Structure formats: structure tokens, C-alpha cells
């Protein structure tokens, strides 16, 4: 997803006040922090809503309308890899 990209932009922009005195650059950094933080929160909310599956299938995503095959499910992959990871 794009969240790491947006989080990286915020992390870099937060360093601007420490290292840069130029007012336009500082203003732009503040705008990046505000905008990218909003984008990150919106994307995370969307991902969370897609993970909520009314039929209780933790491997399903409603937006995919049943297009995932068994090999794309997390439980199938854990079983094949003999993973003891938390679900």
C-alpha cells in the first residue's frame, strides 16, 4: 500500500523545523504533515473497513466480491508454510 510512502513523507517533513530556517520550506513541511497524515488515516480506515467481513471470513475482502481463491488466503498460506503466527 501507499501508507509507508505517506508515513515517510511525514517523517521527513517533521525534520524540517530542526534543520531548515527558510519560511516557505517550513510552511510546505507543515502542509505535508497535515495532508499526508490525513491521507494515511483515510487509507487505514479504508483498509480496516475492508477487513470487516460480515460473513466472518477473516480471509475475505468485500471489495473483491469473492474473487480470492483459496491460495490467496492468509490461513491457506500459514498452513502451507507451517507458520505458528498469530492470526
Chunked into runs of 10 residues, the chain (87 residues) has average pLDDT values of 77 92 94 88 82 57 53 63 56
> Which stretches of 1-87 are DSSP H helices?
3-19, 23-51, 74-81
State in Å, rounded, how far the first CA of the chain is from the last one.
Answer: 20
Total-model pTM: 0.51
In a domain, 57, yes or no: no
In a domain, 74, yes or no: no
How many domains would you assign to the chain?
A: 1
In a domain, 15, yes or no: yes
Rg of the chain taking only CA atoms, in angstroms = 19
Give the pLDDT score at 4. Answer: 77
> In angstroms, rounded to a whole number, what is the distance separating the alpha carbons of residues 32 and 81?
41
In a domain, 67, yes or no: no
The C-alpha cell 510546505 sits at 28
Q: Which three cell numbers stand for residue 13?
A: 517533513
Give the pLDDT score at 21. Answer: 93
Q: Which domain holds residue 2?
A: 1-50
Give the pLDDT score at 87. Answer: 47
In a domain, 36, yes or no: yes
In a domain, 71, yes or no: no
Amino acid at each position: 500500500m501507499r501508507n509507508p510512502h505517506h508515513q515517510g513523507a511525514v517523517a521527513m517533513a517533521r525534520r524540517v523545523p530542526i534543520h531548515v530556517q527558510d519560511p516557505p520550506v517550513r510552511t510546505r513541511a507543515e502542509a505535508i504533515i497535515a495532508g499526508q497524515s490525513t491521507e494515511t488515516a483515510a487509507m487505514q480506515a479504508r483498509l480496516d473497513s475492508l477487513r470487516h467481513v460480515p460473513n466472518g471470513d477473516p480471509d475475505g475482502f468485500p471489495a473483491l466480491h469473492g474473487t480470492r481463491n483459496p491460495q490467496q488466503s492468509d490461513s491457506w498460506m500459514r498452513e502451507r508454510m507451517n507458520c505458528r503466527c498469530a492470526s
